[in-house]
Amino acid sequence: AAGVIQSPRHLIKEKRETATLKCYPIPRHDTVYWYQQGPGQDPQFLISFYEKMQSDKGSIPDRFSAQQFSDYHSELNMSSLELGDSALYFCASKQGESSGANVLTFGAGSRLTVL
Protein backbone atom coordinates (compact mmCIF):
# COMPACT_ATOMS: atom_id res chain seq x y z
CA ALA A 1 0.00 0.00 0.00
CA ALA A 2 1.18 3.52 -0.76
CA GLY A 3 2.50 5.44 2.22
CA VAL A 4 3.42 9.03 2.89
CA ILE A 5 6.57 9.84 0.94
CA GLN A 6 9.02 12.43 2.16
CA SER A 7 12.08 13.75 0.40
CA PRO A 8 14.89 14.12 0.87
CA ARG A 9 15.45 11.61 3.64
CA HIS A 10 18.65 13.35 4.72
CA LEU A 11 19.78 16.92 4.16
CA ILE A 12 22.86 18.76 5.33
CA LYS A 13 22.96 22.53 5.16
CA GLU A 14 25.11 25.39 6.43
CA LYS A 15 23.82 28.11 8.73
CA ARG A 16 21.86 30.83 6.92
CA GLU A 17 21.16 28.55 3.95
CA THR A 18 17.69 27.54 2.81
CA ALA A 19 16.12 24.10 2.61
CA THR A 20 12.96 22.68 1.10
CA LEU A 21 11.32 19.48 2.27
CA LYS A 22 8.67 17.71 0.23
CA CYS A 23 5.79 15.52 1.29
CA TYR A 24 3.58 13.36 -0.89
CA PRO A 25 0.52 12.19 1.04
CA ILE A 26 -1.32 8.95 0.61
CA PRO A 27 -3.55 9.09 -2.51
CA ARG A 28 -6.95 10.68 -1.75
CA HIS A 29 -5.63 12.14 1.51
CA ASP A 30 -6.35 15.87 1.42
CA THR A 31 -5.00 16.90 4.82
CA VAL A 32 -1.31 17.27 5.56
CA TYR A 33 0.47 17.99 8.84
CA TRP A 34 4.10 18.95 9.45
CA TYR A 35 5.91 18.12 12.70
CA GLN A 36 9.41 18.86 13.93
CA GLN A 37 11.18 16.46 16.30
CA GLY A 38 14.44 17.51 17.92
CA PRO A 39 16.85 14.94 19.37
CA GLY A 40 15.19 13.12 22.26
CA GLN A 41 12.13 15.36 21.99
CA ASP A 42 8.48 14.78 21.23
CA PRO A 43 7.14 15.79 17.83
CA GLN A 44 6.08 19.44 17.77
CA PHE A 45 3.26 20.52 15.48
CA LEU A 46 4.29 23.12 12.91
CA ILE A 47 1.47 23.62 10.43
CA SER A 48 -1.34 21.82 8.64
CA PHE A 49 -3.24 22.11 5.38
CA TYR A 50 -6.65 20.96 4.23
CA GLU A 51 -7.67 21.18 0.60
CA LYS A 52 -4.66 23.39 -0.18
CA MET A 53 -5.52 25.94 2.52
CA GLN A 54 -3.69 26.37 5.80
CA SER A 55 -5.91 24.89 8.49
CA ASP A 56 -3.86 25.30 11.65
CA LYS A 57 -0.57 26.76 12.74
CA GLY A 58 1.66 25.75 15.60
CA SER A 59 5.15 26.65 16.68
CA ILE A 60 6.46 27.34 13.20
CA PRO A 61 9.15 30.04 13.02
CA ASP A 62 8.56 33.01 10.75
CA ARG A 63 11.60 31.83 8.75
CA PHE A 64 9.61 28.77 7.70
CA SER A 65 6.76 28.67 5.24
CA ALA A 66 4.74 25.88 3.75
CA GLN A 67 2.08 25.26 1.18
CA GLN A 68 -0.05 22.49 -0.25
CA PHE A 69 -0.30 22.21 -4.00
CA SER A 70 -3.12 21.20 -6.33
CA ASP A 71 -1.95 17.58 -6.34
CA TYR A 72 -2.05 17.70 -2.49
CA HIS A 73 1.68 17.37 -2.04
CA SER A 74 3.17 19.83 0.41
CA GLU A 75 6.48 21.61 0.73
CA LEU A 76 8.11 23.08 3.83
CA ASN A 77 10.51 25.89 3.05
CA MET A 78 13.06 26.88 5.66
CA SER A 79 15.25 29.95 5.30
CA SER A 80 18.09 31.49 7.30
CA LEU A 81 18.74 28.11 8.83
CA GLU A 82 20.00 27.98 12.40
CA LEU A 83 21.80 25.22 14.27
CA GLY A 84 18.63 24.68 16.31
CA ASP A 85 16.70 23.76 13.18
CA SER A 86 18.55 20.46 13.09
CA ALA A 87 15.79 17.90 13.61
CA LEU A 88 13.63 15.24 12.07
CA TYR A 89 10.77 16.74 10.10
CA PHE A 90 7.73 14.56 9.70
CA CYS A 91 4.84 14.90 7.36
CA ALA A 92 1.58 13.12 8.09
CA SER A 93 -1.61 12.85 6.12
CA LYS A 94 -5.23 11.86 6.53
CA GLN A 95 -8.43 12.03 4.55
CA GLY A 96 -10.86 14.76 5.50
CA GLU A 97 -10.22 17.54 7.98
CA SER A 98 -13.07 16.53 10.21
CA SER A 99 -13.06 12.80 9.74
CA GLY A 100 -14.18 11.10 12.90
CA ALA A 101 -11.05 9.16 13.73
CA ASN A 102 -8.14 11.57 13.68
CA VAL A 103 -5.54 8.94 12.84
CA LEU A 104 -2.53 10.22 10.98
CA THR A 105 -0.24 8.27 8.71
CA PHE A 106 3.32 9.51 9.07
CA GLY A 107 6.13 9.52 6.57
CA ALA A 108 9.59 8.25 7.44
CA GLY A 109 10.79 11.79 8.02
CA SER A 110 13.47 14.08 6.64
CA ARG A 111 16.54 14.50 8.80
CA LEU A 112 17.94 18.02 8.53
CA THR A 113 21.40 18.73 9.87
CA VAL A 114 22.54 22.35 10.02
CA LEU A 115 26.29 22.87 10.37
Partner 1 sequence: SQQGEEDPQALSIQEGENATMNCSYKTSINNLQWYRQNSGRGLVHLILIRSNEREKHSGRLRVTLDTSKKSSSLLITASRAADTASYFCATDALTQKLVFGQGTRLTINP
Return residues touching partner 1 (CB under 8 A). 4, 33, 35, 41-45, 48, 55-56, 58-59, 88, 90, 92, 97-98, 101-109, 111
Q: Tell me the closest approach of the beta carbon of residue 46 to partner 1, in angstroms.
A: 10
Q: Which is nearer to partner 1, 48 or 74 (CB)?
A: 48
Q: How buried is residue 15: exposed, middle or buried, by Cβ count under 10 Å (0-12/13-18/19+)?
A: exposed
Question: Which residues, other chains included, contact 3 with Cβ-Cβ below 8 Å and sequence gap of 6+?
Answer: 26, 105, 107
Distance, in Å, from the CA atom of 100 to the CA atom of 97, rounded to the nearest integer, reads 9
Q: Tell me the closest approach of the beta carbon of residue 54 to partner 1, in angstroms.
A: 12
Q: Which is nearer to partner 1, 80 or 113 (CB)?
A: 113
Q: Which is nearer to partner 1, 72 or 89 (CB)?
A: 89
